[in-house]
Structure 1
Amino acid sequence: MLQHDIPHDTGHERKTLILLAFGFALVGLDRWIIAPLFPHMMKDLGLDYQQFGILIGVLSLTWGVCAITMGRLADRIGHRKIVIAAMVLFSLLSSLSGFASGFASLLIIRAMMGVAEGAFLPAGVAAIAEVSHPSRRGFNQGLQFSMAALMGLGLAPIIATQLLRVLPSWHWVFAVSAVPGFVVALLITMMLRDRPRGEPDGKTALRASDNPRWSTLFRSRNVVLGMLATLCAMAGIFVISAMVPNYLVDYLHLDTEHMGFVVSALGVGGFIGEFALAGVSDFIGRRVTAVASFVFAAVSLYVFARIGADPWALFFALFVVSFFALGLLGLFTGPIATEAAPQGLVASAIGITSGAGEIFGGGVAPAMAGFIAQHYGIQFTLPFALVGLTCGAFVSLALRETAPRLLARREAAIAIQ
């Protein structure tokens, strides 16, 4: 049966996309609001750069491990239960961050947050893949990812710095920011449904087989390359996201409000990049989009590191970095992982691609950057991130093309000949 002949529930697709996009926005907020608050937390709790790198890294490590394991569970039992439980848990843990009294308690809370958020990602992204028409899969998954960038890296610095003006301390900022998560979890409980097993949806590659083996993931070239490329992208953008607020305050000596303005470029650029790049890749292909994005991200980061204390110039350069670097996360963890998945292992492929990137790129890399900042200077963390982005360009050259639109055009061209 041809793809356009198969009935498709567009209304359910849109409703699911809206709900899970808001859910992923709150994942981004709860994960990254710590960055603009950390200069204040350092003073109150006696923390240093290396400990901050560890706090960022431990969430990524537990996120990565849980994404891998929970992706497989989501393939077996469905997405809805995991998405709801994960949202309630990470919202609760985010509010508890405001009660932390030192490094040890923050470390435990951040590790547990990683477990909850790591469970949300593969289940939520696979749910979008399941309800999306193949021709819109890249755009829809990219839009979902973009909301985390918009809220977590774009609005969180502004929200945090402005809430600090009206709330007694940073402790209260964590508590207030967690409230929307409970509301969205309730809406998902009432409105989200799993697709019944075996229901035809026009996405043959995405239908579950009776008993798919998890080990078959490693036979897919793009799954393995996606793990490596996501690692490189996360090593770049997560080091930047974690260290740039302190880089701007401590090295370039910007004040808190100008720092919040500049750092918001990460979210604005990432928001546009994550749905724009994935959407563009629906038409021009996944491979060329990935290679070009790594190159442009690396070049723009090189420029950013050479700009002085000029907020507008810094904002523009960081916007470009984030547009391409965060756009890569949506591309690899979304349509590339989805289309590389063997039958019945979509959430597993998404989980292992994200998990590998989180463990090494999001976990180990920020901890290493914290060590570099503490012992050599925070300005040297930017070249470290640049290395990760450069390596990703070379890895992406080996990808196999999987974009449905592009493959269909190629097949049509061959048929005409």
Structure 2
Amino acid sequence: MTPPPTPSADRYENRLLVMLFLAFGFVFFDRQALAFLAPYIDDDIGLSNAQLGMLSGVLALTWALAGMFAGRLSDRLGRRKPILIAAVLLFSLFSSASALATGFLGLLAARALMGAAEGAVLPMAQSLMAEASRPARRGLNMGLLQGSSAGLLGGIVAPIVVVRLAESVGWRTTFFVTILPGVVVAALIAKYVRERPPRRAAPVEDATPAESAAPAEGGVTVRQVLGMRNVVICMLIACCYLTWFVTLITFTPTYLTEEKGFAPGTMSGVMTCLGVAWVLWGFATPAISDRIGRKPALIGFTALAVCCPLAVVYVGDPVLLGALMILTYTGLGCFTLFMATIPAETVPRAALATALGVIMGVGELAGGFLGPLVAGWASDQWGLRTAMFIAAGGAVIVMALAVGLRETAPAVVRRATAKAVA
């Protein structure tokens, strides 16, 4: 049974999706910009591979800590909109501050501050989106917000725009330009986003498990959040899936050029296939999960994700490899499920931002910060293909962990309840 039409609530849902899509998309646009500007920065101030790795790692570290802090602060204050506006403005400002760096330390400080601002965006955005979404569209909306936005703006638009700007006006001016989209998006959020969405009449059976058994507002502790089975499992999944993602995205370009002998242009074409897959699976995976359930979707699409790093190792033809990348780079669609949708359907509203911040933060610390360090060390010892096997192993562990999840998709829970009653 679908909630009755409520034009005001539906219009707000769609408008909010557009604004948050842009907000998180530009987060990844700015996060990815450094990788594409690295050759130009290296020519100017000089960067070693180790320093480039530290720039990526420090952003993941501060991103993780900020996500956990902002989520808890938001739940304590009962406010998300002011934190989101501040985070969008600050990450744009600190991204532009990278242009002022005259050496590695200045760039490191700017990236650390940028990560601290960006880490607050996802918990705020996903908690706002979860509350405004119709149950039948919750997975799709959250997938578009987190997966497709990052894939489109960070994986496809960023390399094209950033490189062209760097070629025409230089890397410093390119960093300065990145402040403009953030200012525009922050203004839109300030004008149009509401702390609470318009009320939508919804049947009780369309409510999530968290909504059906939600306690009174406030008073939900971190210990209570960490006592929820789905939250703990999603946190462990985040550690393994971030290892899959960051290891794969970090070492694949080098593997293709050094181990397989691909020309830079060929390598770039294969990597673009990852951006295409990111956009497609970013919304397709959670949309499918709305119908078949979060748990089977997570297990099934992760099984495909296991194959992605293995294809990098064992497939030699670049055209076939690119096609397989599009088919098997499904993990970014799964990210929305364990980082946002399942927690949003598990915990009460008073603890939602806390849960999202903890899951994202722990995942970034273990998978985004430590994962590539371990993979890099192992690759120095036993060769680059070791990194690909580590990525595949992370996805295999995710499949095992996902078996323990409790299903939360409203339609699936409703069908199971009706079957049990019958």
TM over 0.5: yes
Q: Which runs of 5+ in 2 are unaligned?
A: none
TM-score (norm 2): 0.89
Whether contact under 8 Å (1:340, 1:349) holds in the other structure is: no
Once residues 229 and 47 of structure 1 are traced to their aligned partners in structure 2, the CA distance between those partners, rounded to angstroms, is: 33
- Residue aligned with 1:361, SS: helix
Distance 2:307 2:235 in 1: 23
The match for 2:364 is 358
Listed as ranges, the matches of 1:67-86 within 5 Å are 67-75=67-75, 76-86=77-87
**CA 1:144–1:268: 2 relative to 1, 3 Å:** same
Distance 1:366 1:29 in 2: 21
Residues 191 and 231 (structure 1), Cα distance of their counterparts in 2 relative to 1, 3 Å cut = same
Alpha-carbon offset, residue 4 of structure 1: 2.6
Residues 1:411 and 2:417 are matched in the alignment: yes
1:396 shift after superposition: 1.1
- The alignment covers a number of residue pairs equal to 411
Bigger drift between 335-344 and 207-216 goes to 207-216
- Post-superposition shift, 1:54? 2.4
Tell me which residue corresponds to 1:271.
Answer: 279
Shift in Å, 1:47: 2.6
Aligned partner of 1:235: which letter? Answer: T
In 2: Cα distance, 1:42 partner to 1:187 partner = 36
Is it true that 1:105 corresponds to 2:96 in the alignment? no
- Give the direction of change, closer, same or farther, for the CA distance of 1:275–1:196 in structure 2 (3 Å limit): closer
Query: Shift of the alpha carbon at 1:377?
Result: 4.9
Which deviates more from structure 2 when the two are superposed, residues 183-192 or residues 244-253? 244-253
Q: Corresponding residue for 2:315?
A: 307
Q: How does 1:86-235 map to 2 (within 5 A)?
A: 86-145=87-146, 146-167=148-169, 169-195=170-196, 202=202, 203=207, 205-206=210-211, 209-235=217-243
Is the CA contact 2:3–2:201 (under 8 Å) kept in the aligned structure 1?
no
Q: Which residue of 2 aligns with 1:57?
A: 57
Give the deviation of 1:372 after TM superposition.
Answer: 4.3
Kindly provide the amino acid, as one letter, of the partner of residue 252 in structure 2: V
Report the 3-state secondary structure (helix = DSSP H, G, I; strand = E; otherwise coil) of the residue aligned with 2:220: coil
Give the letter aligned to residue 161 of structure 1: V
Flag the 1:347–1:33 CA change in 2: closer, same or farther, 3 A: same
Deviation, 1:196, is: 7.5
Report the CA distance between 1:300 and its aligned residue: 2.5
Task: Pick which of 268-277 and 243-252 moved more.
Answer: 243-252
Residue segments in structure 1 that go unaligned for 5+ positions in a row: none
Instruction: Give CA deviations for 1:107-165 in whole Å, capped at 9, x if unaligned.
Output: 22221111111111100110000111112111110110120122112322233333343
Deviation of 1:280 after TM superposition, in Å, equals 0.6
Q: Distance in 1 between matches of 2:299 and 2:308?
A: 15
Change (3 A) 1:343 1:192: closer
Conservation of the 8 A alpha-carbon contact between 1:151 and 1:267: no
Is the 8 Å Cα contact of residues 154 and 263 (structure 1) preserved in structure 2?
no
Among candidates 313, 320, 327, match of residue 320 of structure 1: 327
- Where 2:350 maps in the other structure, the secondary structure is coil
Aligned counterpart for 2:290 among listed residues 264, 282, 286: 282
Say whether the 8 Å CA contact 1:36–1:260 is kept in structure 2: no
The CA deviation at 1:254 is: 4.3
CA contact (8 A) 1:212 1:343 kept: no
Identity level (%): 35
Does the CA contact (< 8 Å) of 2:281 and 2:333 recur in 1?
Answer: yes
Give how far 1:106 is off.
Answer: 2.2
Q: Distance in 2 between matches of 1:191 and 1:174?
A: 28
Q: What is the CA-CA distance between 1:100 and the residue it aligns to?
A: 2.6
Q: Partners in 1 of 2:65 and 2:420 — Cα distance?
A: 43
Residues 219-246 of structure 1 show CA distances to partners (whole Å, capped at 9, x for unaligned) of: 2111000001111111111122223334
Shift of 1:210: 3.4
What TM-score does the superposition give when structure 1 sets the normalisation length? Answer: 0.90
Q: Which amino acid aligns with 1:62?
A: T
